[in-house]
Amino acid sequence: MELIITEKDNAARRIAEILSEGSASTERRNGVNVYRWGDKRVVGLSGHVVGVDFPPEYSDWRDVEPKELIYADVTKEPTQENIVTTLQQLARRADEAVIATDYDREGELIGKEAYELIRAETDIPISRVRFSSITDREVTEAFADPDDVDFDLAAAGEARQIIDLVWGAALTRFLSLSARQLGNDFISVGRVQSPTLKLIVDREREIQAFEPEAYWELFADLAKNGSSFEAQYFYDDDGTEAERVWDESEADAAFADLTSVDAATVTSVRRRTREDSPPTPFKTTAFISAASSLGYSAQRAMSIAEDLYTAGYITYPRTDNTVYPEDLEEDALLDAFVGSPTFGEDAESLLEQDELVATEGDEETTDHPPIHPTGELPARSELSDAEWEIFELVVRRFFATVAEAATWEHLRVVADAAGRSLKANGKRLVEPGYHAVYPYSSASENHVPDVEEGEELAITEVRLEDKETQPPRRYGQSRLIETMEGLGVGTKSTRHNTIEKLYDRGYIEGDPPRPTKLAMAVVEAAEEFAKHVTSEEMTAQLERDMTAIAEGEATLDEVTDESREMLAKVFEELEDSREDIGEYLQESLKADKTLGPCPECGEDMLVRRSRQGSYFVGCDGFPECRNTLPLPSTGSPQVLDEVCADHDMKHVKMLAGRDTFVHGCPRCEAEKAEASEDEIIGPCPDCHEPDGGELAIKHLRSGSRLVGCTRYPDCDYSLPLPRNGDIEVTDEYCEEHDLPELVVDPDSDDPWELGCPICNYEEYRARNAVEDLEDLNGIGSATAEKLEAAGIDSLDALREADPDRVAAAVQGVTAGKVRDWQEQLEA
């Protein structure tokens, strides 16, 4: 029997379809799909099915000094036991094995892990096949010409695993213990994560330190034969043209001069044409940037691209290459799109060009080609809207790289009015070139009429605009990844995941990402006491060392030993300042949770978490002062800068994904509830007879509202109500429950007819019933399939799963997403 091992289940299914010519059947072993035909078996892993960790004796944070981890042994243990068991069972029956994992550093390591699992059972021949797209031709050719596992390339990936584990665990434990932040609130530090966070924090500091300067700009509308265009005032500033006027009196004087005349005389007309070259082929960073302009996060874009690759529609999306291989036949690939309703016309127009010459970028590598379509064309109905949008982006980028250059005609007009100079720059697209097939790059025109020197143009309006210089913009995700690439921080395969981890850890929020106060505190502490932790030079050097391993110029042991020695030096700095670091972080973290003074004792009121996991506001003077305020049960709290004028207390926002809302001042919300009266609406279905319990609209001190029994706590029957909006109790009654129908925001343009509160809640529960994985928000069929391949094939399995292990095993799924799903299950 020949055993074939792929990186994921969907790749296994696709390869089985190709090699068996559609005749493969499926059987289940230990909850794992095995594809079979004849004497062939194909099984998909779930990424890494074994993980690196420290031995059990290092697991207790309180009993093990963090620096002990620096030179601790690292062990490998199965993370997906059902897949490991299945692989080894099949290996014992096999005569030969073929490893067909992705062809990159991470894929080679996953392949090596499979190699070692097989070797533990048998000494059968094991070969390696490599391909850049899962298409009939590439897969068939790869299996016809197998190679060996590249143990140097795999060792580079393994070195990364070990170094990231040692650095991350040792530093995370040190800072968390120093700051007394344990449990779910630990302070996460990482070899790539921390330098990336520093980039974001440094940009935020630039923004905060920025002091705007006032300046003025003047514009005049000029007209010829009823056709008007905008011109801008400029002046000579030591040989350069300047548009910004920094002195208000000078701006006023220029405005007075321009408004004193009604015509301007053309003094200069210059025409030129410019060639606009097509873009270069997609490498990973450029692809992420282009997908970002369509609204996709880096993580989402890569996840979709990987699914399209596995389905055989595009080539491998993790690449630094910007030069197509010599054997790529551009005309044959274009021909595959002829006849397509979406792409056919553009493909035909490109094939009609005199010659097809693809553009080339500056980077050429030998592992994978640039990202491009394979020629396998899915039907529109086979892909989701997001998948189709990304697929079309990749197709059209390929089209653009083989299209002709565009040609622009530029017209520059300079005119004089009352001794003041005005200029207008027009441009017109003469030959659309690649813009005809690639609508993602700007092709906007600016009309300026054809004029001649000496011609007079009417001035129809003059505008003086006062402006301020703007701070630097925050890094968008794609720009951040480009900056990381330029500094050598991370790799094409890890950068987008690093950003996602920063979101998961609560270090950044929003898009473009901005650092939280926790992030600012952690970076400031590292800069003060151990600069190596956030140094991009350090992590870039380690990246170079791992490349040296892949090229056979260094060994895994040499690089990991050097890394451990570097970390030991970092700890020498940290140990000397342990108390200072702890105090600094504790004060910073406390400031991040402080709302204002306690009205009873004057100590700080802080956001706290109960043993049950719920949040509330409590006095820092506890246990002497037991003053508390409730917070909503939905989401996690974020303290805002806005301060309540009545209570000198900061407002709170509850972060709950799409349901995020501003709670406001906790004291205000509590006082509103105390001042409100219950509004009786009808009998309680649980205890009305014989004790007389009734349902009432209640306002809680946490700011929430509900319909609850007046006999609470003896009767805890309750129904949820919307948090915001006026509620009107109507005269219409529900025949089944004898309760009035409710309307939310009755005076608005779009009132919400809630109806009977019992009927509404029953309908809500039915709509949101969670019976299988796909009932959870954020889990579609593709994600459910990935989870099932990783052993998460039921709601119970998801409920009990370790979020970090799931994130490590399932591409495109983060630990934060897993926790969100688990919270949905508990809701």
Query: Residues with catalytic annotation?
Result: 316
Torsion angle of the four alpha carbons 499, 500, 501, 502, in this order, in degrees rounded to the nearest 10: 50
Contact between residue 554 and residue 151 where contact means Cβ atoms under 8 Å apart: no
Largest Cα–Cα distance in the chain?
Answer: 99
Which residue is listed with tokens 């978490």? 609
Tell me the DSSP string of 648-686.
--EEEEEE-GGG-EEEE-HHHHHHHHHH---EEEEE-TT
Are the CB atoms for 807 and 32 separated by under 8 Å? Answer: no
Please count the helices (runs of H) and the strands (runs of E) in the chain.
24, 31
Tell me if 218 sits within 8 A of 233, measured CB to CB: yes
Per-residue 3-state assignment (H helix, E strand, C coil) for 108-175: HHHHHHHHHHHHCCCCCCEEECCCCCCCHHHHHHHHHCCECCCHHHHHHHHHHHHHHHHHHHHHHHHH
**Encoded tokens for 551:** 């090229």
Q: Map residue 247 onto helix, strand or coil.
A: coil
| Strand-pair category, 514-515 with 508-509 | antiparallel
∠ CA 666-672-674, rounded to 5°: 105
Q: In what order do the strands lie in the sheet with 679-683?
A: 679-683, 694-699, 705-709, 718-720
d(CA 130, CA 605): 60
Map residue 177 onto helix, strand or coil.
helix
Output the CA–CA distances (angstroms, integers) from residue 794 to 518, 557, 742, in the order listed.
36, 41, 38
The dihedral over CA atoms of 541, 545, 546, 547, expressed in degrees to the nearest 10, equals: 100
Q: How many CB atoms lie within 10 A of CB 163?
A: 22
Q: What is the DSSP letter of 274?
A: E
d(CA 825, CA 621): 36
Quick one: DSSP state of residue 371? Answer: B
Structure tokens at 648: 């000198």
Task: Give the CA distances from residue 288 to residues 284, 310, 482, 505, 810, in Å, rounded to whole numbers and listed in that order.
Answer: 6, 18, 9, 22, 20
Encoded tokens for 170: 């040792």
Give the DSSP letter of residue 534.
G
C-alpha span between 682 and 165 (Å, rounded): 60
Token pair, residue 468, equals 């301020």
Location of structure tokens 């491998």: 316
Candidates 49, 34, 193; CA nearest to 513 is 193
CA separation for the pair 164, 190 (Å, rounded) = 7
The two three-digit tokens of residue 423, written as one number: 């200029």
d(CA 501, CA 816): 8
Q: Which two tokens stand for residue 775?
A: 């009932």
Residue 669 contacts residue 703 (beta carbons within 8 Å): yes
Taking CA 356 as the corner, what is the angle to CA 355 and CA 359, rounded to the nearest 5 degrees? 130
**Distance between CA atoms of 310 and 296, rounded to whole angstroms?**
20
